[in-house]
Structure 1
Amino acid sequence: MPTTLFEQASGVAENLPDWKRLIWGSRPEFHAVGMPQADTAFAGELARTVIDQSSAHRIRVAARNHIARRTKAHTSTTGGSHFVLIFQISGDSHLRYGEQRTQLTPGDMTLIHSDTPTNGCSPKKSKR
């Protein structure tokens, strides 16, 4: 009989290095996160629940020009094949999934597969 895994994690981060420690802990990184400009403000909040092979994450990020990338190297080393549902609550994001590109605005959702490299970012806001 399989063992049921139950895990919860939550926390907040006020900078990118703390965010990386929060979302990965001691695990190998699932994707690379970064920001092209080191002096850009960042804040993030995470709530994660894992039950067996299913997980739910609520991620809130307040940043401009935030980038999350899942490369071919990540898809081959993190093990397991999963579907990921992305629901955009506020702001906007640009997502490149394989050869497809889309912009997500509040209320949009998309389903992606963890075996396909992705490149997502929150665009830099223009000054008016």
Structure 2
Amino acid sequence: MPSLTRGKVQLRQHAASAIPSQLSRPDITITILCQELNDHFNFSPPISTATVSRAVRDKAGYTLKLLRQEPADYNNPERLQARQVWTQEFLESAASMMNAVFVDEAGFNLHLVRRFGRHPGDEGQS
């Protein structure tokens, strides 16, 4: 009967070189990373997603963050200039910020709840 720690030992031997290069793609999932590691190193038996997840978190020091898609031209120079001109004109007018309504260009949902959030290593822990 094979040892249950075999995948962990194999992963530990390769994690230092394989995982950081794979994690340069911030949108990669643990499942895809697990498949790529199993395909590349031909692990037998294959390592589990739980083992890869622990290695990514504990050994490589990477955690997951929620990704938000932003329009390609969201902060292009023309749009930044237009915002700056509008802001300057608003400040120079007789209008009051107390009567202003902010509308986010990216869209906003009042019912959006942050489901998770992680950060790398020990940074920001209190």
Greater RCO structure (CA 8 Å; 6+ sep): 2
With structure 2 as the length reference, what TM-score do the two structures score?
A: 0.24
Higher Cα radius of gyration: 2
Instruction: Identify, as 1 or 2, the structure richer in helix.
Output: 2
With structure 1 as the length reference, what TM-score do the two structures score?
A: 0.24
Instruction: Identify, as 1 or 2, the structure richer in strand.
Output: 1
